[in-house]
Amino acid sequence: MTDPRRRIPSVETLLGSEAFEPLVSRWGRTRVASAVRGVQADVREQAAERVAAPVPADGGWYAERVAQRLERLDRPSLRRVVNATGVVLHTNLGRAALAEPARRAVADVAGYASLEYDLETGGRGSRHDHCVDLLRELTGAEAALVVNNNAAAVLLALNTLSLDREVVVSRGELVEIGGSFRLPTILARSGAVLREVGATNRTHPSDYRDALGPRTGLLLKVHRSNFRMEGYTAEVPARELAALGEEAGVPLVHDLGAGALVDLAPWGFPPEPTADVALSDGAAVVTMSGDKLLGGPQAGIVVGGSAWIEPMRRNPLARALRPGKLTLAALEATLRLYRDPGVAEREVPAVRMLVASAAELAGRAERLVARLREAGVAAETAASTSAVGGGAYPTVELPTTVVVVGAEAGRADALARALRRGDPPVAARVRDGRVLLDPRTVAPTDEPVLVAAVAAAAAAVAAVEPGAARAAGLARPVGGEDA
């Protein structure tokens, strides 16, 4: 028997065939030829894996695959996604969704902008001036600096204030943030020397006091934003640590991580230090992320005394860690919303999503279900929980109402895949063989887009395996609860 792979038509044959004419005229010969080779390779691989797999010989079959492949390759790699996962600060989906004014600000400066240009004098300005006044106003700090992200802020603080000198930090705070940010590693790369004190669960003032000496560069406090310690624990409060530092003449650097600008305690969140509180507790320098609880763009925010921030600004490393104009524009517009906490609560999507009421979410879920049913998709609501994400409030579960699009026998994964492959792609949760859509993280203006995307994905799943569409619960209501 001859090798079935010999049935695969050659590149030349396919390119010369009628089915390929429109493809060649749209994409050009070179790109089509390369896509043909990709499809041929897939067919060969499948034939090698499964001896009985049919090897298509028809030009039309190849033209269809090649067209899909070319479309896929032509799409941008970084695309907008509808986040229906219910994870508000979804790091893999770009963490915080920007507020409308921040989006407009980004578009506004996309051309030329006064990034380092003094509009009064026509002379050179500094990009490091842009968000400073707002940050000072909002946190009460004397000085401020914006860098590329919070990891960069911590790196720059350590390198500037403790090069070749000891950073005294509790063993209970040598954290890993994820995405390969481990405090001991960053600390070593910064050129500072780690001086760990205390035990994993308990650190006392005397532990810090015993470590202070002529080699000390600074005291570091790292907020445990992404995990909780319970049981037999003790830590030294920031205020007491700052006083210890003051006695010894060394600054306290407080890495807040998630860094909220408004206190979410009134909505039932556990207390988190805000930047102004951390400063009034005596920290010389406070660092935090721009795209966690603040709900702005990826950025690292440094606030504190000029005596510490000025040298950070002049450090040559600051050049390597500096933010771009799009970041600064988005951050400035986001910060402006915090001048009135009521406005921030309504207009910063991350804050709005975190404090959304159970009644509002239930109403939105009901509305989505009604629209999905109109579009011919079986769906129903169920009680569930959303997560904050971004390593913030790790133990908090936010009650929500999700939309359940049912599936049996593993078809939920097919539907979730179809949703990811849609336009725009939708990220959803799959749980117990069902696809869950959480309205908390979907902008109300995106609801029609979501409904259309789910209907299209359901149709795509049905088209692949008509029998499976019924199994996927797409043609009848689904039962069961997600608690």
Ligand X SMILES: *Cc1c(COP(=O)(O)O)cnc(C)c1O
Binding residues (CB under 6 A) for ligand X: these are 149-151, 154, 177, 181, 222-223, 225-226, 255, 257-258, 289, 300, 391
Q: Which residues contact 156 (CB under 8 A, 6 or more apart)?
A: 147, 300, 302, 312, 315, 317, 318, 321
Length of the chain in residues, anyone?
483
Distance (Å, whole) CA 6 – CA 240: 77
Phi, psi of 397 (to 5 degrees): -115, 125
> Whole-number minimum distance, CB 336 to ligand X, in Å?
21
C-beta of 222: minimal distance to ligand X in Å?
A: 5
Nearer to ligand X, 150 or 401 (CB): 150
Minimal distance, residue 303 CB to ligand X, in Å:
15
Q: How many helices (H) and strands (E) does the chain have?
A: 20, 16
Environment class of residue 63 by beta-carbon count within 10 Å: exposed (0-12), middle (13-18) or buried (19+)?
buried
> Can you tell me the distance from the alpha carbon of 177 to that of 428, in angstroms, rounded to the nearest whole number?
24
Pairwise CA distance, residues 421 & 304, whole Å: 46
Kindly list the distances between the CA atom of residue 391 and the CA atoms of 88, 257, 290, 293, 386, in Å, as whole numbers in the listed order.
Answer: 11, 9, 13, 10, 14
Whole-number minimum distance, CB 473 to ligand X, in Å? 39
Task: Provide, rounded to whole angstroms, the least separation between the CB of residue 135 and ligand X.
Answer: 16
Question: What distance, in Å, lies between the first and last C-alpha atoms of the chain?
Answer: 57
Minimum CB distance to ligand X, residue 289 (Å): 3
* Closer to ligand X by Cβ: residue 251 or 391: 391
At residue 345's C-alpha, the angle toward residues 344 and 346, to 5°, is: 90
Question: Which residue's CB is nearer to ligand X, number 324 or number 448?
Answer: 324
Whole-Å CA distances, 335 to 14, 101, 191: 57, 10, 32
Query: Closest approach of Cβ 322 to ligand X, in Å?
Result: 15
Nearest approach in angstroms of CB 399 to ligand X is: 24
User: What are 436's two structure tokens?
Assistant: 């869950």
353, 179 Cβ separation under 8 angstroms? no
Q: Which C-beta is closer to ligand X: that of 173 or that of 207?
A: 173
In the complex, the smallest distance separating the C-beta of residue 174 from ligand X, rounded to whole angstroms, is: 11
Residue of 437, 455, 434 whose CA lies nearest to 372: 455
d(Cα 404, Cα 436) in Å, to the nearest integer? 5
Minimum separation from the CB atom of position 152 to ligand X (A): 7
Q: Is 295 or 300 the residue whose CB approaches ligand X more closely?
A: 300
Q: Which of 353, 299, 303, 293 lies closest to 331, judged by CA?
A: 299
In the bound state with ligand X, the residue whose beta carbon lies nearer, of 89 and 329, is 89
Q: Which residue is nearest to ligand X (CB)?
A: 257
Shortest Å, Cβ 185 to ligand X: 12
Taking the least distance from each CB to ligand X, the nearer of 151 and 219 is 151
Q: Positive or negative, the Cα torsion across 99, 136, 250, 273?
A: negative
| Cα(83)–Cα(428) distance, integer angstroms | 7
Q: 166-170 and 216-222 as β-strands: parallel, antiparallel, unpaired? A: parallel
Instruction: Choose between 275 and 442: whose C-beta lies nearer to ligand X.
Output: 275
Nearer to ligand X, 257 or 282 (CB): 257
Show the tokens assigned to 243.
Answer: 């006083």
- Tell me whether residue 303 or residue 468 sits nearer to ligand X (CB atom): 303
Are the CB atoms for 91 and 179 separated by under 8 Å? yes
Residue in this structure with the two tokens 């026509």, named with its chain if needed: 122
Q: What share of the chain is helix, strand, coil (3-state, %, to 5)?
A: 45, 15, 35
Question: With respect to ligand X, which residue has the nearer C-beta, 301 or 457?
Answer: 301
